[in-house]
Structure 1
Amino acid sequence: MTLKTIAESLGVSVKTVSRALAGKDSVGEELRSRIRAEAERLGYVPNSMARSLVSGAAMTLGMVITHPANPFYALLISAVEERCRANGYSLLLMVTEEDLETEREAAEALLRWGVDGAVVIPVQEGAEHWQRLRDSGVPIVLVNRGLDGFECDFVGVDHERGAHEAVSHLIDTGASAVYLLEEDVPFSSAADRRAGFHRALAERGLPVHDGTVMLVPPSVRGRRVQPWEPGAAYECAQQLVSGIEPGAAVLTGSDYFALGLYRALSERGIDVPGQVTVIGHGDLPFAAYLQPALASVRPPADDIGARAADLLFERIQGSTAPASNIYLAPELRIRASAGGDD
């Protein structure tokens, strides 16, 4: 079915049909309703390629993420895709698996596809390829991780605030010492969590000593980095819990790390939360169903995805405002592992 088919069926011009389906004011409401009803009856689907040729826009956003298995990124994708649908755009998704060369290839592919804008979670090992994409006229919004020396819109989680709030809660509810089980990666998100952890300890006068912060090495399979491995966290946690004192608390950089910690504590006969309290990060779907239910720092993934897409559409529509740097606060979900009721 084409615009001409609808026009012939109703005895109107192709231009009138086109204006009506595009929502132009030059077509009366009664005629617009008739045209839309006929288009639906005939099963008309707009030709997005033809529309792109007319408008000079691809009507497509690119989105580059690092790990499709990360539930946080899954929520981001859904939020961005929802905004795309509302604006008549399609979403082209690419995955880098934390590999710089794959990320460069993704940037080149977005340039070849001629996308109108890109939402990017960068590997954080270089910005030249993203600069080249932006220099071609494609606006970029970075999500969750910044890039040094690359000035563009950014929307992310206030990881420093989330860790600070979690540690403050643990201390305020009686923890005599607090440990951090964090991923050993050069990403700003992990660095911000460490900063919040240290700030909370300093404010309340708790010491930092060897073993206070334990870094979980990511697993590497070929060129792919696999973070958030419960097994790797379990190995680190075994060392941590061997000398942990009753009344201590542990903050983990991921709920997956909390799984490994739970096993290490259980094998030592250490009760959670009776002897050690625990808070994770991510508030993944399984957190509330562990025994005891895991307290966790919940990132506002939906809001971040929506804000990132909205910023991108503003740039596509011609906004020349200074680059935004937006940090959204996470929510601390207190459950039984940190003294909560559930």
Structure 2
Amino acid sequence: MWTIRDVAKRAGVSYTTVSHVLNNTRPVSDEKRERVLAAIAEMNYVPSAPARSLKAKTTSTIGLVVPNNTNPYFAEFARGIEGSLRRRGYCVFLCNSDNNLVTQRECLRALHQNRIDGVIVASVDDDESVADDLRAVRVPVVIVDRPIAGLDADLVQIDHEAGAMMATQHLLDLGHTRIGCIAGASDTAVSAIRVAGFRRAMAERGVQVLPGAIVEGNFTAPGGYAAACELFDSLAPTAIFASNDLMAMGALRAAAERGLRIPADCSIVGFDDVEMSRYVYPALSTVGQAILRLGDAAANTLLERINGTVTGPARTLMIEPRLIVRESSTRLRAPAGYKSNHIAP
């Protein structure tokens, strides 16, 4: 591997001259600059990133930690962040915590060792041990989805409760009252907030949440499938609010296996508006936001801290959700086959 001294030798200049050309730290004559650039091109020389970061006191790299990068929501979110930061000359190190607090801690430690300029985190947990882990990184931090106890950091999130209420109110407006709810993992704040939004919408309309109407689905398609099977076989809802699109897609599969027509026999609404929600059949009604723009907002918020254009107390950027009505929800009908087969008198 070529070094800066090899380039200097080829160009017939000192290695400090090569450094000044690479980093624009001092004026260099046009003749010497051309020789250096020609030598770099001939040798296909790539400057050492660690060496340059020590000199510039910046690495132009950002850490991104997500719970599960196979989840389409986090994949799209990461793409939004990466696209926004690349346009500004930054690279992104993506770490997958696998919904594990220990793995998340190891990711943060590795990012710190690589001298990142800042970090964006969708945390597995929200207790004070996470706050300690993030403070140890000693760079600006932006939190996504939920606040973390004891951490003074900017937060970017969608209004989870308002979105869940919006989805539930949509089903109520369509005449449904026998509504099931597929919750996320019981130990996550996001799941609890979305379930609270479901309950609040039902209560404000004076509609009872039936026993067994809320089933945990763990924010995964298999989890949503299992939860929907339980709802179809016990509650027989005419509508389901799933706390994310993956679980709603699992519910579509469970309905198909039972010969239920969506939305004629059961309306289904998800949450997040991931890209594939437009292409499942039937296309999924959902509540969400432009995920790429959410990633862009998180990136902008972090860069404002890194560049010092914003100082002072932590900020919360709350993204308002919107309802996207597609093919999987419709007005309550009288689905004779479903009623006679599944709804007890």
**Interval containing the TM-score (normalised by the shorter chain):** 0.7 to 0.9
Contact 1:6 / 1:17 at 8 angstroms: preserved in 2?
A: yes
1:261-304 per-residue CA deviation (whole Å, 9 max, x = no partner) reads: 22333344433212321112233444333332221223432122
Q: Equivalences for 1:2-151 in 2 at 5 Å?
A: 45-124=46-125, 126-128=127-129, 130-131=131-132, 133-134=134-135, 137-151=138-152
Of 230-239 and 148-157, the range deviating more from structure 2: 230-239
User: For the residues of structure 2 that align with 1:249 and 1:183, how far apart are their CA atoms?
Assistant: 17
- Match of 2:252, SS state, is helix
- Match of 1:211, SS state, is coil
User: For the residues of structure 2 that align with 1:129 and 1:206, how far apart are their CA atoms?
Assistant: 39
User: For the residues of structure 2 that align with 1:289 and 1:133, how far apart are their CA atoms?
Assistant: 38
Of 277-286 and 39-48, the range deviating more from structure 2: 39-48
Match of 2:292 among 302, 323, 328: 302
Change (3 A) 1:339 1:323: same
CA-atom RMSD in angstroms: 3.5
1:189-222 per-residue CA deviation (whole Å, 9 max, x = no partner) reads: 2122112211211221211231221122xxxxxx
Change (3 A) 1:154 1:125: closer
Write the letter of the residue equivalent to 2:163.
G
Long gaps (5+) in structure 2: 332-345
What residue in structure 2 maps to residue 220 of structure 1? Answer: none
- Match of 1:242, SS state, is helix
Contact 1:58 / 1:114 at 8 angstroms: preserved in 2?
A: yes
Long gaps (5+) in structure 1: 217-226
User: For the residues of structure 2 that align with 1:302 and 1:288, how far apart are their CA atoms?
Assistant: 16
Change (3 A) 1:58 1:290: closer
Write the letter of the residue equivalent to 1:194.
V
User: For the residues of structure 2 that align with 1:321 and 1:202, how far apart are their CA atoms?
Assistant: 40
Q: Equivalences for 1:1-342 in 2 at 5 Å?
A: 45-124=46-125, 126-128=127-129, 130-131=131-132, 133-134=134-135, 137-216=138-217, 227-244=218-235, 248-318=238-308, 319-339=310-330
User: For the residues of structure 1 that align with 2:168 and 2:195, how far apart are their CA atoms?
Assistant: 11
Residue 76 of structure 1 deviates from its aligned partner by 2.0
Write the letter of the residue equivalent to 1:70.
N
User: For the residues of structure 2 that align with 1:339 and 1:37, how far apart are their CA atoms?
Assistant: 67
User: For the residues of structure 2 that align with 1:160 and 1:37, how far apart are their CA atoms?
Assistant: 59
Residue 133 of structure 1 deviates from its aligned partner by 4.3
User: For the residues of structure 1 that align with 2:290 and 2:190, how far apart are their CA atoms?
Assistant: 14
Residue 334 of structure 1 deviates from its aligned partner by 0.9
1:121-176 per-residue CA deviation (whole Å, 9 max, x = no partner) reads: 11115343543542563111111232122221111222212111111111112223
- The alignment's TM-score, normalised by the length of structure 2, stands at 0.79
- The alignment's TM-score, normalised by the length of structure 1, stands at 0.80
Count how many residue pairs are aligned between Structure 1 and Structure 2.
328
Of 309-318 and 11-20, the range deviating more from structure 2: 11-20
User: For the residues of structure 1 that align with 2:134 and 2:274, how far apart are their CA atoms?
Assistant: 34
Contact 2:58 / 2:117 at 8 angstroms: preserved in 1?
A: yes
User: For the residues of structure 1 that align with 2:231 and 2:327, how far apart are their CA atoms?
Assistant: 21
Contact 1:300 / 1:331 at 8 angstroms: preserved in 2?
A: no
User: For the residues of structure 2 that align with 1:157 and 1:230, how far apart are their CA atoms?
Assistant: 21
